[in-house]
Amino acid sequence: MAALDLLLRLLATILHAALVFALAPLVLGLVATLRARLLGRRGPPPLQPYLTLVKLIRKTTLVPDNATEFYPVWPYLAFAPIAAAALLVPGFCAGLLTAGLSDIITIIGLLALSRAAIILAGLETGFGFGGAGAARDILFGIFAEAALLVTVLTFVLIAHSPTVDGIAAAFRDNHIGIQVSLGFALAATFMVALTETGRIPVDNPAGHLELAMVHEAMLLEYSGKNLALFEATAMLRLTVWMSLIATIFCPFGIGRAVDILSWPAGLALWLIKLAALSSGLAVFELSSAKMRIFRVPEFLGVAILLGLLSAVFLFLAQRIGS
Amino acid sequence: MTLTYPLAHALGAVMLLCAFAMLSQRRLAALISLYQIEAITLTAAAFWQGFAQHEINLYLTGLITLIIKAVLAPIALRRIVHHFNLIRAVETAMPVGLSMILGVALIGIAVLVVLPITVNAVTLTREDLAISLSIVLLGLLVMTTRRNALSQVIGFLSTENGLVLAAIGMPGMPFVAELSVALLVLVAFLVVGVFVFRIREHFDTLDLKGIEAIERRGR
């Protein structure tokens, strides 16, 4: 019986990995298409990111003359941590083989590692826009990670478990009720997620003005396969964040790896959640404008304080409860 | 009974979130919208408490809140903004980040003050008191950190929302008290409105720097 369970969990893990890697470009494409449709344009087809990746892989990979020998290393260093994080965050079912490792602090660390590799890639050739983009990304990263750490405190205190899997299980099975702290934490998490994935109030993914770019500015010197890896990293990061938010705040209907009959429902619900988050993101991006760079720390400061407030209210509720 | 506590808690938290967001907002239009959301949430809280406590008076309070604060006051404020063409951002007296840190500190103080002194009270009351005291303090902070007369008015109105939230959470609060508070706000709003028009007439701006200069010269 234990062997069968292990086999099922292995199958679920492989299926999860395949789905996350295969669907990540589609999620990005869906957001772009929805945005264009809402603006009244026809927009690119949702499958456009796949075509972009194929095109980039076919192109010649150029290396600038003044690049160091580390130049081709950064794309892999950026991609690998995100790929690992994609395996750790549960998607359609909980209880994957990696469930025990999915410590939320580890995931934050992996995201930070990938960010560091991209920043170093931006600094690599020593040209101006890359350096500016790197400086901005570091600035955002400091605040975003602080906010995320404060918010994680609330989850861990409520769920008594540091793993994403455990948090999801606790939020699904125990009667948490409408918790004020979770509302604050949700707001803070959304703000951090928008920053980390470089979406509109912080950075414009469709922007082509070098002076205003953050994420794209660091990749200007990259081409061909290297650029394809960076693009894949960005797509995967968006999907990982969406899965993370869906798993923590909306764990209902998530399947169990040892119960193969719960997989189809979990799969369908996961896809619905991803689609809902994508459309929510598209609507939000349309209804807000990009902030000035030096407004972003303020925006993330609000996220930090919301995380703090959620912890304060958690303590308040617990002291009243006792 | 199972839903009474979390729902009241959640409504109070939405109000607190609005009061907190006011601190971080620079634009008058956004401030007014936040105030309106806060007032609508207060209405919902009043109706909910009326339902939970079986008090007909609280429904009346909710109705007054809805009409005066959620509909009339925002309309009046928006007309003033439109009339004076105050679309641009408002100057703050201190950096927004600092005022938000102060805001969190004030919420902490409110919680620390309310919890020990109300040990014997009902849980619902304690919770409500902590949240409403925080809203009152945040409203006062908005009044202190803004230079623009209109945003100070909004801070005052937010403070008053916090007071009403405390009042509706208290079982056995006489209706006369709440009614007089609501009327007081209406009167204060009218007085302030006249005052704002006078400032505008004299200084061509709603910034209170001009008054401060006169004050200094007078001494």
DSSP code per residue over A183-216: HHHHHHHHHHHHHHTT-TTT--TT---GGG-SHH
Single pTM value for the model: 0.85
ipTM of predicted assembly, 2 dp? 0.71
In angstroms, the CA B30 to CA A250 distance is: 30
Cα(B157)–Cα(A121) distance, rounded to whole angstroms?
Answer: 51
Quote the pLDDT of residue A194: 94
- pLDDT at A34 (0 to 100): 94
Report the C-alpha dihedral over residues A260, A265, A266, A268, rounded to 10 degrees.
130
**Long-range contacts at A311-316 (CB < 8 A, ≥ 24 apart):** A311/A150, A311/A153, A311/A154, A311/A157, A311/A181, A312/B104, A312/B107, A312/B108, A312/B111, A313/A180, A313/A181, A313/A184, A313/B13, A314/A154, A314/A157, A314/A158, A314/A179, A314/A181, A316/B111, A316/B115, A316/B127, A316/B130
- Give, as one character, the DSSP assignment of residue A99: G
Interface of B with A in 116-175 (CB under 8 A): 123, 126-127, 130
Average pLDDT, chain B: 80
B184 vs B178: CA distance, rounded Å: 10
State which residue of chain A sits closest to B11, comparing Cα positions. Answer: A180
> pLDDT tens-digit profile of B20-48?
888 888 788 888 999 999 999 999 998 98
CA distance A265 to A92: 9
- Residue ranges of alpha helices (H) inside chain A are 2-38, 48-58, 73-88, 104-124, 128-159, 164-173, 180-196, 215-218, 224-249, 263-287, 296-321
Instruction: Write out chain A's pLDDT in tens, 322 residues.
Output: 788 888 999 999 999 999 999 999 999 999 999 999 999 999 899 999 999 999 999 999 989 888 888 999 999 999 999 999 999 998 888 888 888 888 999 999 999 999 999 999 999 888 888 999 999 999 999 999 999 999 998 888 888 888 998 888 888 877 666 577 888 899 899 999 999 998 888 888 777 777 778 888 898 889 999 999 999 999 999 999 999 999 998 888 888 888 888 899 999 999 999 999 999 999 999 888 888 888 888 889 889 988 988 888 787 766 655 4
Q: How far is A111 from chain B (nearest CA, A)?
A: 26
pLDDT > 50? residue B1: no
d(CA B44, CA B50): 10
> Rounded distance, CA B57 to CA A59, Å?
74
- pLDDT tens for each residue of B124-159: 567 778 888 999 999 999 988 887 778 888 888 898
pLDDT band with cut points at 50, 70 and 90 for residue B2: low
Closest partner residue to A316 (CB to CB) among B17, B104, B111 is B111
Give the C-alpha separation, A46 to A55, whole Å.
16
Cα B116 to Cα A60, A187, B6, B119: the distances in Å are 70, 30, 21, 6
Cα distance from A313 to chain B (closest Cα, Å)? 9
So what's the pLDDT on residue A322?
46
* Residue given tokens 């006792």 in the structure block: A322
Residues B207/B91, Cβ–Cβ less than 8 Å = yes
Kindly provide the b/e burial profile for residues A178-217, where b requires at least 16 CB atoms within 10 angstroms of the residue's own CB. Answer: ebbbbbbbbbbbbbbbbbbbbbbbbbbbebeeeeebbbbb
**Residue in chain B nearest A188 by alpha carbon:** B17
Question: Rounded CA gap, A78 and A80, in Å?
Answer: 6
Chain A CB within 8 Å of residue B180 CB: no
B207, β-bridge pairs? B148
Contact B127 A298 (CB under 8 A): no
> What is the model's pLDDT at position A175?
66
At A96 the three-state DSSP class reads coil
CB A33 within 8 A of CB A45: yes
Confirm if A156 and A148 have CB atoms less than 8 A apart: no
Residue A43: Cβ-neighbour burial (10 angstroms; 0-12, 13-18, 19+): middle
Q: Is B146 helix (H, G, I), strand (E, B) or coil?
A: strand
How many residues comprise chain B? 219
Tell me which residues of chain A have a C-beta less than 8 Å from any C-beta of chain B.
Answer: 177-180, 183-184, 187, 297-298, 301-302, 305, 308-309, 312-313, 316-317, 319-320
